[in-house]
């Protein structure tokens, strides 16, 4: 099957490209570093010729509601319009477990993305996953000032990006289903705990201070909602500590 991975150079995107190729699929990566700008449309139509399924793992990292909504709305609409022109038969969007009711900050963009996909004429599946183990690396990099990291207080059930990638390829190669079972990790974790263990594991001296974010966003992070509810779910198996030593940790 010819599959396009939008965001194929990103944290999870690189795993999706690898997982799809290992299963023998013909893979096209769509990212600016591959010469394709999904928002402006540069080289987008020509990249989708013959594509049967698109997996959208695009991202813009921001805590600003307007920027997040602006990016995910523009990118998703541009991608869906191009897919309709190209006759793509399945759009798969990666979203985040437990964000209903947290319609602010970064998550407002993800909910706007989900609404566009759900209302699209392109056959689709929204696949939600919990935070990646790799999220600890992303947050540590963004929040470290010298030896101190100011980390948002967060309770989650993280999963390896490699397992998310395998799940997304399963979803993309099955018929469009509207919504896939949530993918959750094997154990509850706090972000501060993960970053402390990662720093010790890597021999990095870092004092991790967890800070409760204000407002609905902060409540969402600490409430446990991001761990997932009682609905249909699939469970990843690699724990965070196993992931720290795993060959698929891309550093």
Ligand X SMILES: NC(=O)c1ccc[n+]([C@@H]2O[C@H](COP(=O)([O-])OP(=O)(O)OC[C@H]3O[C@@H](n4cnc5c(N)ncnc54)[C@H](OP(=O)(O)O)[C@@H]3O)[C@@H](O)[C@H]2O)c1
Distance CA 152, CA 150 (A): 7
32 is an interface residue for ligand X by CB under 6 A: yes
User: Considering CB under 6 A, how many residues would be counted as binding ligand X?
Assistant: 26
For residue 118 the two structure tokens come to 């759900």
Binding mask 124-163 for ligand X (x = CB under 6 A): -----x-xx--x----------------------------
Nearest by Cα to 126 from 42, 223, 56: 56
Binding mask 1-20 for ligand X (x = CB under 6 A): ------x-xxxxx-------
Write 23-27 long-range contacts (CB < 8 A, 24+).
23/169, 23/173, 25/1, 25/169, 25/173, 26/1, 26/2, 27/2, 27/3
Distance CA 38, CA 40 (A): 6
Residue whose tokens read 């690189």: 14
Subset of residues 42 to 61 that bind ligand X, contact rule: CB under 6 A: 57-61
Least distance from C-beta 104 to ligand X, angstroms?
15
Q: Choose between 122 and 226: whose C-beta lies nearer to ligand X.
A: 226
Segment lying near ligand X (by CB under 6 A), choices 27-35, 185-193, 197-205, 235-243: 27-35
**Of residues 25, 90, 91, 110, which one binds ligand X by CB under 6 A?**
110
Binding mask 80-109 for ligand X (x = CB under 6 A): --------------x-x-------------
The pair phi, psi for residue 72, each rounded to 5°, is -70, -30
Distance CA 157, CA 148 (A): 24
Residues at the site binding ligand X, with contacts judged by CB under 6 A: 7, 9-13, 30-33, 36-39, 57-61, 94, 96, 110, 129, 131-132, 135
């Amino acid at each position: 099957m010819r599959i396009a991975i939008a965001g194929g150079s990103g944290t999870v995107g690189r795993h999706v490209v690898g997982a799809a190729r290992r299963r023998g699929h013909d893979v096209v990566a769509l990212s600016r570093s591959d010469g394709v700008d999904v928002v402006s449309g540069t080289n987008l139509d020509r990249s989708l010729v013959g594509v049967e399924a698109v997996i959208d793992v695009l991202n813009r990292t921001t805590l600003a509601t307007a920027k997040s909504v602006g990016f995910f709305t523009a990118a998703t609409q541009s991608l869906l319009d191009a897919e309709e022109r190209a006759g793509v038969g399945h759009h798969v969007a990666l979203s985040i477990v437990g964000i209903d009711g947290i319609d602010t900050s970064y998550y407002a963009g993800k909910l706007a993305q989900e609404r566009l996909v759900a209302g699209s004429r392109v056959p689709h599946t929204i696949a939600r996953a919990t935070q990646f183990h790799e999220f600890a690396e992303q947050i540590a990099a963004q929040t470290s000032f010298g030896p101190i990291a100011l980390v948002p207080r967060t309770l989650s059930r993280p999963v390896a990006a490699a397992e998310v990638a395998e799940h997304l390829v399963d979803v993309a190669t099955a018929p469009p289903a509207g919504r896939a079972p949530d993918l959750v990790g094997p154990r509850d974790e706090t972000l501060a705990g993960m970053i402390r263990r990662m720093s010790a594991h890597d021999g990095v001296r870092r004092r991790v201070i967890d800070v409760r974010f204000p407002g609905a966003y902060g409540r969402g992070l600490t409430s446990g909602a991001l761990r997932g509810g009682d609905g249909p779910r699939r469970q990843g198996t690699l724990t965070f500590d196993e992931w720290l030593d795993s060959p698929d940790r891309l550093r």
